[in-house]
Amino acid sequence: MAFLTKDKIFSKKWIQDNLLLVSGSFILAAAFVFFVTPHKIVPGGVYGIAIVVHYLTEGVFSFWPDGIPVGTFALMIDIPLIIAGIKILGPRFGIKTITGSVLTAVFTDLLTMLRPDAKLPLVDDILLSCLFGGVLMGFGLGLIFKSRATSGGSDIIAMIIAKYTHLQIGRLMIYVDSVIVFFGLLAFRDWAIPLYSLIVIYICGKLIDTALEGANYNKALLIVSRKHAEIKEKLLVDLERGGTYLNGEGMFTGEQKKIIYTVVSRREVAILQEFISKIDPDAFITVMDTKEILGEGFQSLNQKVNN
């Protein structure tokens, strides 16, 4: 969770964070209005509860004939949760978390009001709506997290429960969101809704990681070969990549070995594999996916933190 920060007002970092916060809140709101809410999808969190309540209160209030607005109800839950979080957990939810909650609620209700028929989905295909809704939700939340704010809601519920039960926060968040999805099943009595909701939650989680870490097409390689000197030359001279020697020992033979650890692009993997196959067909190569590479030759750690 984001702790209270002391960025100087109107500094470059302050402007950058607030642009991310506003953009993320708007994208998140658009996902709810155009793809999620019209199909009665319940994507966990306070907005999942708000969507259920919105449909259950349709026709109940004369001043809200279509039901309690999703953004308004979400904010009615979010603000007390943030206050409770501050009292129970301490000042972990800086002003940006409150700002993000308010902005998302305002954008959600404003976009809903601007639509001629808010109940009508942008596309009729519910699976397509799940895909695009999950993508937009994940990207919007990723931008909010990059601004060092949080989404509030189920995050805070999970942290409060964790304080008293000592259970893992990540697992508790899954439990909380699952209960909310089940609430949607009870309210709408349609088994398709929780299944589609789980698709949205999964895609959203993947896109949050992508927004925070960026798309990465690099591969990490561990290479065990007697021709390590030639491979080193290929890496340094032809591919202009670095690497690290690791000392190893064969488990069966007890022979001392030089292991090369390096990170290259997907295209360079093919080039390197072809080269090694010619000079040492018996080489042992492990190719691993990488989520994020920080350091010399790639994005610097300082740049990552500052961005």
> 50 and 186 in one domain?
yes
Three-class DSSP category at 258: strand
User: Does a structural domain hold residue 156?
Assistant: yes
> 158 and 294 in one domain?
no
User: Angle at CA 36, nearest 5°, toward 34 and 42?
Assistant: 160
Q: Which of 61-65, 251-255, 285-289 has the lowest mean pLDDT?
A: 251-255
Q: Residue 257 sits in a domain of what CATH number?
A: 3.30.70.120
Tokens of 182: 């089940």
> 161 and 96 in one domain?
yes
pLDDT for 2: 42
Higher-pLDDT residue of 25 and 303 is: 25
User: Does a structural domain hold residue 42?
Assistant: yes
pLDDT for 248: 92
**Can you give the length of the chain in residues?**
307
> 284 and 178 in one domain?
no
| Helix (H) / strand (E) containing 107 | helix 95-114
| Helix (H) / strand (E) containing 122 | none
Residue range 170-199: mean pLDDT, rounded: 87
Contacts of 177 (CB under 8 A, 6+ apart): 44, 45, 48, 154, 201
Contacts of 164 (CB under 8 A, 6+ apart): none
pLDDT for 12: 80
> 206 and 60 in one domain?
yes
- For 260, the domain range is 218-306
pLDDT for 1: 41
> 91 and 147 in one domain?
yes
Nearest Cα to 228, choosing from 265, 261, 254, 253? Answer: 261
> 236 and 178 in one domain?
no
Quote the number of domains for the chain. Answer: 2
> 90 and 112 in one domain?
yes
